Amino acid sequence: MNNEALRLSLQEKLDAEKTVIERRKLGQFSTPSTLADEIVSFGVALLPGKTVRFIDPAFGTGAFYSALLGRVEPSKLESAKGIEIDRHYADPAKELWAGTPIRIETGDFTALSPENGYNLVICNPPYVRHHLIDDKERIRDRTKRFSGIALSGLAGLYCHFLLQSVQWMEPDGVAGWLIPSEFMDVGYGKKVKDFLLNKVELLQIHRYDPNNVQFDDAMVSSAVVLFRNRMPKAHATVKFSYGGCLSSPDSAKEISTCELRKETKWTRFPLQCARKQTEVTAVLGDYFIVKRGIATGNNNFFILKKSKLEELDLPREVFRPVLPNSRYLNIDEIFADEDGNPKLESELFLLDCPLPECEVQKKYPKLWDYLLTGKDSVANGYLCKSRKYWYCQERREAPLFLCTYMGREKSSGQAFRFILNHSDATVTNCYLALYPKGIMKEFLQEYPDMRKTVQNIMNRIDPQHFVDEGRVYGGGLRKIEPAELMSVPVHEIETVLCHFRS
């Protein structure tokens, strides 16, 4: 059995010894062999005739190193190093690769002293979201010190790995990073893009077709970012490619760095042209305030069925009606009963009590008993522990319109749908809440019968507009944030409002 076959067998064994939740906490998603070989061969080709000094800052069992051994002659491999934070993978990897020219160090890449001099960095860094990063402030300070870039507190750990890596590289060294493509569109990604445009020479970004998920255990849309460790030229271009593989993409185009500096969403490239900066049109944000629904911190604890309220004899006055998850709402118009509750098969209510614990205990003893069941668990969650009272929700009034937050394309090409809400029910963060403002608010107050017309107009918006403004994840899952939804063009509304204005 060759080294790669042994490595794959070891990887499967080690992964099976951990739960998916444990691996996700550390962002451990192993790189498929074909993908590792593709990235390594591309990186090696950018160092023609040079001996290779290789480093992988998130080594795992060594997928990239295994590919490197198959692509570089022994005489051309001057040195190799792997860094792995988890002994569960590091110790077996040391045994696997004993006798080959690599040093594997067990440690945290974001805490080790840099060893300048590597000319090939290839890495699939840990995909850990910002709220799960331990010692975040230390890591952010180090990233700024190493790269000169102050990353947003919302940046994932992979962003810090990327920016800190330059301190380990020699001038003109090459880096290839397999990372989520979301940095190309999201707010925190702006600083990452600033780094790629101004601190290094960005060579290519290849985005894999999100319908072809690269990782079996992670729903991310993947991209490969390639750069050299040198200052960029004044009038440079960057190759953007999409689909297929690095060496044979389905589509590719050279984009000027000048154009990239103006464009907020890089996933437009290479399939679309940059948005015309002079283009002016009506957008949803002209007529609606858009907010994300409530993030409860634990839906199973805070959202109860009506039957459960009655069973536990909980006080109805500290619960608000709330709509079910969008997966369970298969209608596009929600009607209300005489109390304002939605007429749905399953009636759900959200716990939302503004009283301190001492008053809850005194005024609502049955509610206090229920809160005690979550005090040592739910109350210590990321969101709950940051609130004044861990069981008191953020304010979010019942929206007139809602938009699904995530979705996959239907036969119509649309991934999102707009729902008309006549009830007093609020919504959780699987929806975006739309509140009419300005002339739209006046219009619907005077002509309430036109609500359905406005809803139909929004459901007829060209699906491409959502593609342009939103983002996409593995498996073709689409997502749109409040600010992105407010930027979606909506031409027809102007026609409806024309008569009202006159």
pLDDT of residue 90: 97
Task: Quote the percentage of the chain above a pLDDT of 90.
Answer: 77
Where exactly are the structural domains of the chain? 3-268, 284-352+393-501
27-71 confidence digits (pLDDT tens): 888 899 999 999 999 999 999 989 999 999 999 999 999 999 999
- Order of strands across the sheet with 471-473? 406-407, 477-479, 471-473
Average pLDDT over residues 64-93: 96
Confidence of residue 276 (pLDDT cuts 50, 70, 90): very low
Confidence of residue 220 (pLDDT cuts 50, 70, 90): low
**Third-level CATH fold of 3-268:** Rossmann fold (3.40.50)
How much of the chain is in helix, strand and coil states, percent to nearest 5? Answer: 40, 20, 40
Q: Strands (DSSP E) along 85-144, which ranges? A: 103-106, 118-123
| C-beta separation of 213 from 196 below 8 A | no
| C-beta separation of 298 from 378 below 8 A | yes
pLDDT at position 483 over 70: yes
Report the Cα–Cα distance between both ends of the chain, in Å, rounded.
80
pLDDT of residue 214: 52
The alpha carbon dihedral of 490, 495, 498, 500 has a sign of: negative
pLDDT of residue 497: 84
DSSP labels for 449-484?
A: GGHHHHHHHHHTS-HHHHHHHSEEEGGGEEE--HHH
153-175 confidence digits (pLDDT tens): 999 999 999 999 999 999 999 99
Average pLDDT over residues 265-285: 74
pLDDT of residue 310: 94
DSSP β-ladder status, 169-180 and 201-207 = unpaired
- What are the tokens at 343? 């007429």
DSSP labels for 296-313?
A: -S-HHHHEEEHHHHHHHT
pLDDT at position 215 over 90: no
